[in-house]
Structure 1
């Protein structure tokens, strides 16, 4: 987990604490009711961890796709080189065959 993710997690939990504390005080609940405040903090904390987990999973998938993309590019380049070599060989053979055919025809 990156430092940025940790900072966001702490900010989310602290802001949920302040929000729930002020919200409960507004409705004349006992402002020190720790169960409601704790449950809101846990809810927001787990939401933040879930978002971080999804972000990490997406990053892993992106890395895998980039690796496969690089592999495909290398394979395409090597295939292109092989096809070009074979085409050159075939072109040489055809040129030689035409030359031999013309030589035999006119001699």
Structure 2
């Protein structure tokens, strides 16, 4: 796996070569997904969703807030699954549509 540079190097890349930093981030994401056990599709979707959300941000602080919000949402879901599995596994009540009476 590609080693993560120290903080000062990452900060320099962010200020001077943001495209190279983005390339490093993409490479590290792909390596982490490849090393996962069996949930690569879900992780790929998560990374795609994160990238789409971050593309709309106009500054680094906005990116941080968006990423933290997404992490908080995932952690809340995980907490619900662990602490209240019955609530999480409840299924929606299906209400069938009634067909209108046919005219002869």
Q: TM-score, normalised by structure 2?
A: 0.34
Higher relative contact order (Cα pairs below 8 Å, separated by 6+ residues): 1
| Structure (1/2) with the larger helix percentage | 1
Q: Could you say which structure has the larger radius of gyration?
A: 1
